[in-house]
């Protein structure tokens, strides 16, 4: 195996495991219930105004970046060996 395949495979494996862990750590949204259909589902609180700094926002941000890394590394591992022959 080439060094690029080993490094790429390791990054893919690590990012895949972290995506699963971060996805499982996130809370489920409960906005799709009957009460939100009646009331409109808007809750204006101090927590909703500072959502960028909460644990959920941080997990969502990391999950997004890990998915981007996973996608890019997958493309690189698939496309680069074709051109290196």
63 within a domain of the structure (yes/no)? yes
Q: CA angle at residue 30 from 56 to 18, to 5 degrees?
A: 35
12 within a domain of the structure (yes/no)? yes
59 within a domain of the structure (yes/no)? yes
Distances (CA, A) of 33 to 30, 38, 44, 66: 7, 9, 17, 30
* Predicted confidence (pLDDT) per residue in 39-62, tens digit: 555 555 555 556 667 888 888 899
Please state the pTM of the whole predicted model: 0.68
Task: Give the pLDDT confidence score for residue 63 in this predicted structure.
Answer: 92
Determine the structural domain holding residue 2 and report its residue range: 1-25+52-85
19 within a domain of the structure (yes/no)? yes
Task: Give the pLDDT confidence score for residue 75 in this predicted structure.
Answer: 92
Query: Which of the residues in the chain have pLDDT under 50?
Result: none
Q: How many domains does the chain have?
A: 1
């Amino acid at each position: 195996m080439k060094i690029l395949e080993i490094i790429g495979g390791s990054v893919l494996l690590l990012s895949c495991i972290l995506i699963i862990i971060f996805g499982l750590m996130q809370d489920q949204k409960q906005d799709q219930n009957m009460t939100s259909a009646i009331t409109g589902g808007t809750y204006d609180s101090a927590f909703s105004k500072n959502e960028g700094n909460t644990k959920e926002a941080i997990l969502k941000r990391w999950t997004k970046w890990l998915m981007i890394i996973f996608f890019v590394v997958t493309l690189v591992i698939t496309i680069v060996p074709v051109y290196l022959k």
